[in-house]
Amino acid sequence: MDAARRWRLVRAGNDAVPASARRFMQRARRRRLRAALPWAVLAGGLALAALIAWVVLGTGLLGVARVRVAGTGVLTAAQVSDAAAVPTGTPLARVDLAAVRRRVAALPAVRRVTVRRSWPDTVVVEVVERTPALAVPRDGGFAVLDNTGVVFQSAPLRPDGLPLARVAAPGPTDPATRAATEVFGSLPAELRQQVAEVGAPSPARITLLLRDGRTIIWGDAAQSEVKARVAASLLSRRGNTIDVSAPDVVTIR
């Protein structure tokens, strides 16, 4: 069969399919493509998500390179970083921030702590330290208390500017310590600056020794704000002892 004859047969075969049928088949093919497209997009999206998850969670490409510490004064950044205990190279997304927060919060000097991720490779630890309020002589040195009675620091020498607290068992659960810190915290700035010692042999026998040698007999921590106002108003009076334990009946001697 010559070439011209073969061409005529092929052409005749194509022409044998009606145009309407060809259009139907083309439309059907397009419908199949349109129906398959969302599934193809979904499969591609899932594959991309799996790749991203693997990179973020399963590799060190976005691993912890450092721990950045902010807010330290009493503590050092190294002490906080050691307490955080975040292994270098741990995928940043897998770091247990709550666990890091608990470990850092266990440091006595830490009053509050926040922990967050800073992409691509940093854990940020921000601490708020306890504020020194009183110092307690103990074991040849001094224990430093905050305004809630928590012992958070030890010092070989008395810290500058801190009044002494004379309590037998310093700590936030000790009633005498709580009473002493409550009374000291209630004082106006003018009076607080003049206090050298807060004596609290018991919660009901609190006294303030001023830097000029005078004594304020406070009694218990009840009505501390009233007692503080009365005591501050009497500082200009003569007398070595000011008794405000009953603020309605004050004595000076």
Contact by Cβ (8 Å): 219, 205? yes
Q: Which of 129, 156, 184 is the last residue of a domain?
A: 129
pLDDT digits (tens, 9 = 90+) for 179-198: 999 999 999 999 999 999 99
> Do 199 and 139 reside in the same domain of the chain?
yes
CA angle, 87 then 88 then 93, to 5°: 80
> Do 148 and 205 reside in the same domain of the chain?
yes
**Domain presence at residue 58:** no
Domains in the chain, number: 2
Which residues are registered as beta bridge partners of 91?
63
> Do 124 and 70 reside in the same domain of the chain?
yes
**Using 50, 70 and 90 to split pLDDT, how confident is the model at 2?**
low
Q: What is the mean pLDDT of residues 237-246?
A: 94
**Domain presence at residue 185:** yes
The half-sphere exposure of 74 on its side-chain side, counting CA atoms within 13 A, is 20
> Do 240 and 149 reside in the same domain of the chain?
yes
Query: Which of the listed ranges 3-12, 19-28, 46-55, 136-145 does the model predict with the highest average pLDDT?
Result: 136-145
Q: What is the mean pLDDT of residues 55-83?
A: 83
> Do 79 and 155 reside in the same domain of the chain?
no
- Give the pLDDT confidence score for residue 25 in this predicted structure: 72
**pLDDT above 90: percentage of residues in the chain:** 69
pLDDT digits (tens, 9 = 90+) for 113-144: 999 999 989 999 999 999 999 999 998 899 99
Indicate which CATH number applies to the domain containing 106. 3.10.20.310
**pLDDT above 70: percentage of residues in the chain:** 80
